[in-house]
Amino acid sequence: MAEPCCIRTCKGSFNQEYRCLLVSWKAAWSDGEEREKLKEEVRDHLRTLNLQLKDKKFFGGDSVGFLDISANYMAYWIIIIQEVTGVDLFVEDKFPTMWKLAEEFRCYPLIKDNRPEEERLFALFKAHSKSLMNASK
């Protein structure tokens, strides 16, 4: 029996998000030529996800769903990691649809009331940035 189109789309988006997560983590903590190569790969993944969103508020439509939760690293974590490392992977002018999703996700009441404090995460990543960079080599 063939999978319904929505399940294939969901699996494809989830796989794209997961690959983007792995590559963005490596790009953030690497340096030099490797970082530039990984940044371009991250942008390719983000472009694909940006197109998949189209005009929807969230991947699932009007409310937060599984794909939105799995993509929370873009909405929350990657922005903090960018501040710590100075690497611009996810920026509003290049990915406006994804950026809007990230803003909506961060402001969604259930997410907003239960996420870690940004200042604490920033301090944590900043304190461990050297060891994270060494571990990614």
Place of tokens 């690959």: 19
pLDDT of amino acid 125:
82
Would you state the torsion angle of the CA atoms of residues 54, 43, 26, 117, taken in this order, to the nearest 10 degrees? -50
pTM greater than 0.95 (yes/no)? no
Report the chain (137 residues): mean pLDDT per 10 consecutive residues. 43 62 84 91 85 80 79 76 87 86 86 86 83 69
Q: Are 104 and 58 spatial neighbours (Cβ–Cβ below 8 Å)?
A: yes
Q: Kindly give, in sequence order, each residue whose CB lies less than 8 Å from that of residue 53, ignoring residues fewer than 6 positions away.
A: 59, 97, 98, 101
Instruction: State the CB neighbour count (10 A cutoff) for residue 117.
Output: 8
CATH of 8-135, one of 3.40.50.300, 3.40.1440.60, 3.40.50.720, 1.20.1050.10: 1.20.1050.10
Write down the pLDDT at residue 137: 62
